[in-house]
Amino acid sequence: MTRRPLAPPPKNGPRFNEFIASPKVRVIDENGENLGVMLTQEAMEQAAGVGLDLVEVSPNADPPVAKFLDVGKYKYEAQKKANAARKSQRTQEIKEIKMRPNIDDHDYQTKMKKVHAFIEEGDKVKITLRFRGRELSHQQLGMALLQRVADDTHDDAKVEAYPRMEGRQMLMVLSPK
């Protein structure tokens, strides 16, 4: 009887059958029953007897835990689970709202509606206050305006980066609670 050539060990995914490095493993059969700790070779023979592979499901345990599974089906299910997790995750974006220190009340309310909408969507909001000309000598007005923004969004957002000057603009970052 000729032996098949030894394939390279799997680069990603679980180790299975002859690629399991541990001499002993804790074995769980196809029905989920614990068969106890046994030699890896003996466990592989039992798995082959029922037409399945011995797959290492918890390699960091002592001894490693291996299960009787179809390795192709196991990899497929793991890939489907990873794709579903990737599809459901959402990246958090940073939206920017630009204002001036002497903004009118109606314009301020319009900007605040957008800030609330962005925060409800789960995005961070960067408030940029631009100073022009002599406005730069009245930075306390800008600080008061950003404090007003923080107070108005206190219920659904927290201040992640407190107001700071960068050149001719003052910045503040809000993130959802």
pLDDT at 161 over 90: yes
Of 9, 98, 105, residue with least CA distance to 59? 9
pLDDT at 92: 81
pLDDT at 18 over 90: no
Averaged pLDDT for residues 29-55: 92
For residue 121, the number of C-alpha atoms closer than 13 Å in the C-beta half-sphere is 15
pLDDT at 52 over 70: yes
Q: pLDDT of 72-131, one tens digit each?
A: 898 899 899 999 988 888 778 899 999 999 999 999 999 999 999 999 999 999 999 999
pLDDT at 168 over 90: yes
DSSP string, 80-128: HHHHHHHHH--PPPEEEEEE-TT--HHHHHHHHHHHHHHHHTT-EEEEE
Averaged pLDDT for residues 15-44: 92
Q: Which residue has the higher pLDDT, 3 or 138?
A: 138
Burial of 146 (0-12, 13-18, 19+ CB in 10 A): buried
pLDDT at 97: 96
pLDDT at 1 over 60: no
pLDDT at 3 over 70: no
Whether the pTM exceeds 0.85: the reply is no
